[in-house]
Amino acid sequence: MKEDNTSEKLQSLNRDSLQERLMGDKELIVEVLKVFLDDAPKQLADMKDALPEKNMEKLRDAAHSLKGSAGNIGAERLHSVARQIEKTSGNGDAQKTGALLAELMASFEEAKAEIEKIISEQ
């Protein structure tokens, strides 16, 4: 993954990386992507709920989990923003974390559109 300040240059979903990680197994790719689409909204909801409560530990944990999931499927931009949220929430910076959360939601929607496209192609 690239550095945090280059998130706009990252792909919403790196298909080549996904193919490589899952050895081109189309059925496995679809299954992994479906699991991601089931799990990621829960992690996003946990983060949105944790921010007004200033529960930075819960927010950091959810960001960490989403970061790993996003990295595993090649959702580069989502991975990068989740990593930034993990860092800012770990530092207790609720204001910066809140701003990043909006970017995270947009990155998720972009990745979701790509994922749905892949699933529909199978």
Residue 95 lies in a domain: yes
Residue 24 lies in a domain: yes
**Residue 2: pLDDT above 90?**
no
How high is the mean pLDDT of the chain?
93
pLDDT tens figures, 5-55 = 455 689 999 999 999 999 999 999 999 999 999 999 999 999 999 999 999
Beta carbons of 60 and 91 less than 8 angstroms apart: no
- 62 burial (CB, 10 Å; 0-12 / 13-18 / 19+) is buried
Residue 1 lies in a domain: no
Residue 84 to residues 4, 9, 45, 75, 77: CA-CA distances in angstroms?
7, 15, 17, 14, 11
The percent of residues in the chain predicted with pLDDT above 70, rounded, is 93
Instruction: Determine the Cα–Cα distance for residues 44 and 75; give it in Å rounded to an integer.
Output: 15
**Residue 1: pLDDT above 60?**
no
CATH number for 27: 1.20.120.160
Give residue 10's pLDDT: 92
Q: What is the mean pLDDT of residues 68-96?
A: 96
Tokens standing for residue 90: 């770990």
> Domain range holding 41?
8-121
**Residue 63: pLDDT above 60?**
yes
Say what the pTM is. 0.90
What is the CA 113 to chain-centroid distance, rounded?
13
Residue 72 lies in a domain: yes
Residue 2 lies in a domain: no
CA angle 56, 57, 60 (to 5 degrees): 80
**For residue 21, which of 59, 69, 61, 54 has the smallest C-alpha distance?**
69
* Number of compact structural domains in the chain: 1
